Structure 1
Amino acid sequence: MINDIINNLKGQLTGELQSKYNLQPDTANKSVDLAKDNITDEMKQRAASGDIGGLMDVFKGNKAPGESSAVDGMIGKYVSDLTGKLGIPASVAQQVAPFVINFIMQKVTGKVSSGGVSQTDLLGGLMGGGLKDSLSKGLGGLFK
Structure 2
Amino acid sequence: MIENLINNLKGQLTGELQNKFNLQPDTANKSVDLAKDNVVNELKTRAGSGDMGGLMDVFRGNKAPADSSAGNSIIHKYVGDLTSKLGIPESVAKQVAPFAINFIMQKIGGQAASGNLSEGDLLGGLLGGGLKDKLGKGLGGLF
TM-score greater than 0.5 by the shorter chain: yes
Q: Tell me the secondary structure at the aligned position of residue 116 of structure 1.
A: coil
What is the TM-score with the length of structure 2 in the denominator? 0.88
Within the alignment, does 1:61 sit opposite 2:97 as a pair? no
Residue 127 of structure 1: how far off its partner (Å): 0.8
Instruction: Note if contact 2:64-2:102 (Cα within 8 Å) is conserved in structure 1.
Output: no
Tell me which amino acid in the other structure corresponds to 1:75.
I
Deviation at 1:106, TM superposition (A): 0.5
Amino acid at match of 1:43: L
Following superposition, which runs of at least 4 residues in structure 1 exceed 6 angstroms of deviation? Answer: none
TM-superposed deviation, 1:37? 0.3
**Where does residue 75 of structure 1 map in the other structure?**
75
Counterpart in the other structure of 1:4: 4
Q: Specify the code of the residue in structure 2 equivalent to 1:69.
A: S
Paired position in structure 2 for 1:13: 13
Q: Residue by residue, what CA displacement relative to the aligned partner does 1:7-65 show, whole Å, maximum 9, x if unpaired?
A: 01000000011111111111000000000000000000011111011101111222222
TM-score when normalising by structure 1: 0.87
Q: Distance in 1 between matches of 2:11 and 2:64?
A: 24
CA RMSD of aligned residues (A): 1.6
Gaps of 5+ in 2: 135-143
Q: Residues of 1 paired with 2:125 and 2:80: CA distance?
A: 26
**Native 8 Å contact 2:55 2:68 kept in 1:** yes
AA of the residue aligned to 2:93: A
Q: Which residue of 2 aligns with 1:121?
A: 121
Residue 108 of structure 2 is aligned to residue 108 of structure 1? yes
Larger Rg: 1 or 2? 1
Question: 1:78 and 1:122 mapped to 2: Cα distance?
Answer: 21
